[in-house]
A and B are shown apart, each in its own frame.
Chain A
Amino acid sequence: MGGSMKGKDIICDASSLIALTESCFLWLLYDLNRKHGFRFLIPDMVEYECIRRPLNIKEYSMDAIRLEDAVNDGVLEVIRDEDINSEMVKIMNFSNHLYYARGKPIHLVDRGEAAMIALADKYDIDLLLMDERTTRLLIEDPMSIKKHFENEFNVHIGVNETSLRELQSRLEGLKVIRSSEIITLGYRIGLFNKFQHIEKDALEAALYRVKFRGCSISFDEINEILQMVVD
């Protein structure tokens, strides 16, 4: 990884990059990078998910090109660090042997999410940009996933305490923001001024746009944000 600016580093997941690109709000990352020195980092697994793989899918290739362009412009930095592989495998093992249904472990997370956590751990970065719900809950409230599974499957879900302890030691201190927070931040620091007198409408439209593009934000939370910016 290049020069140390740890304080302004954010590790990004494919889910948020996809939501921001499809909603035409990738420019916010450009502005935050160029005007405020934010660094947006992506593990190579995430690059595969949101750039290399969709490049071959006609429906999504334009989004992939926009993101590749952001990489070429230095707004997104791809981190290729093989040293995180062993930690990534450990995180996958603990996560995927955390909950048991009918005596079988539930495969919860994959390499993309595990690579983000391993990268955060190695470079001591605590902020993750992630619209995806499951990994966010795993970081913030793992027991809510257990309850959710029990509601969905109507069976008892066992928890492997060793895996839980190991995971919690790795996830401690991690903070997750979503594309909705990036948009709200953009609004609060004046990046929406270009919309002139309809900037608040633009904020509301932008929040709904990313929600409908898969950002895990509820209608109540959108209302809370809109109320907050009025205050």
Chain B
Amino acid sequence: MYTKSLDGVFMGKKKKNVSQEGTSRSRMRRNRVPVVYVDPMSGIEYHVDVGHLISYASRLEGFFVKRDVRKIKHLYHELVNDLIIEFDPFKYKLAVVAYMLAKFLSKPRMWSRKGIAGYVKKIGRAISDFVFFAKKGNLNRMMGSLDKITHEINNLDAYDQRYVSSLLENTYIKIGATMYAKGISLHTASQKTGIPPHKILEYIGKTTMADRLKSRISPRERLSWVEDLL
């Protein structure tokens, strides 16, 4: 059986106290060293800070248990900032999960749905699994757990679907647009998230992003440059 430690962090199978403490310390040391992960789709090599991921996922698990939408949203923004500084596919999927969970938890109608408890249990269990496999350094199973969470939330969303595009697709767009709004280029945001620039532009066009960072050059000056070509 799986157990939880006092601080709510998933510890794996129950062992004797002494050995459990020792194993935990050595794992923590090991987790601080970045692990190389090669994305099977793109072939790109990433240096994954597993310790950091464990910290994020453990916090997410705690906030999910407490249904704390505000803190999950805050965690999502932390993840996106971190993605801009150092991108890796695990952090990206964790950001996707955080955003989807925040959306799911903030829809009261979802809670009256029949069988919701089962979904919640599966999602909570998958987050615990992610932390468990992260502590073991099993990258493939970590990715599997993240995929499972997004799959479960998407299933919930499909039941309640009111738009053509799914919550998962909208989440990818939201992250791509947020990364672009925070300062990286459109192509970079598109490349990293796999979202076409069209979708990012469409999303960002309805925000006040262009109004927040003023340009030193007036439209009149820009117009004069192109009028000079006539």
Q: Do A and B bind each other?
A: yes
CA distance A183 to B50 in the complex (A): 50
Asked if B114 lies at the interface with its beta carbon under 8 angstroms from chain A, I say: no
CB atoms of A18 and B198 under 8 A apart: yes
Main secondary structure of the interface of B (DSSP, over half): helix
* Complex CA distance for A141 and B215, rounded to whole angstroms: 8
A63 at the interface (CB under 8 A from B): yes
Taken together as a complex, chains A and B put the C-alpha atoms of A140 and B200 apart, in Å, by: 23
A97 at the interface (CB under 8 A from B): no
CB–CB B209/A185 < 8 A: no
Q: Are A108 and B201 in contact (CB under 8 A)?
A: no
A201 vs chain B, min Cβ distance (A): 19
Are A127 and B188 in contact, with the CB atoms below 8 A?
Answer: no
B222 within 8 A of A: yes
Contact with A101, one of B85, B209, B216 (Cβ below 8 angstroms):
B85
- CB < 8 Å neighbour of A14 from B81, B84, B197, B213: B197
Residue of A nearest to B165 (CB): A59
Question: What residue of chain B has the Cβ atom nearest to residue A178's Cβ?
Answer: B222
Contact status B226-A177, CB under 8 Å: yes
B contact residues, range: 35 or more
Instruction: Give the complex CA separation of A140 and B183 in angstroms.
Output: 15
B76, chain A: closest CB distance, angstroms: 14
B86, A104: Cβ atoms closer than 8 Å: yes
Q: Does B204 contact A (CB under 8 A)?
A: yes
How far, in whole Å, are A115 and B62 apart by their CA atoms in the complex?
Answer: 45
Q: Given A18-B197, A185-B226: A221 and B202 within 8 A (CB)?
A: no
Residues of chain A having any CB pair with chain B under 8 Å = 7-8, 10, 14-15, 18-19, 22, 36, 38, 49-50, 53-54, 57, 59-60, 63, 101-102, 104, 106-113, 127, 131-137, 140-141, 144-145, 148-149, 152-153, 175-178, 180-182, 184-185, 188-189, 211-221, 224-225, 228
24 CB-based A-B contacts, threshold 8 Å: A7-B229, A15-B201, A19-B201, A49-B196, A50-B197, A57-B198, A59-B198, A106-B184, A108-B183, A109-B187, A113-B186, A127-B229, A132-B187, A135-B186, A140-B216, A148-B182, A153-B81, A176-B222, A181-B223, A189-B230, A211-B210, A214-B205, A215-B210, A224-B220
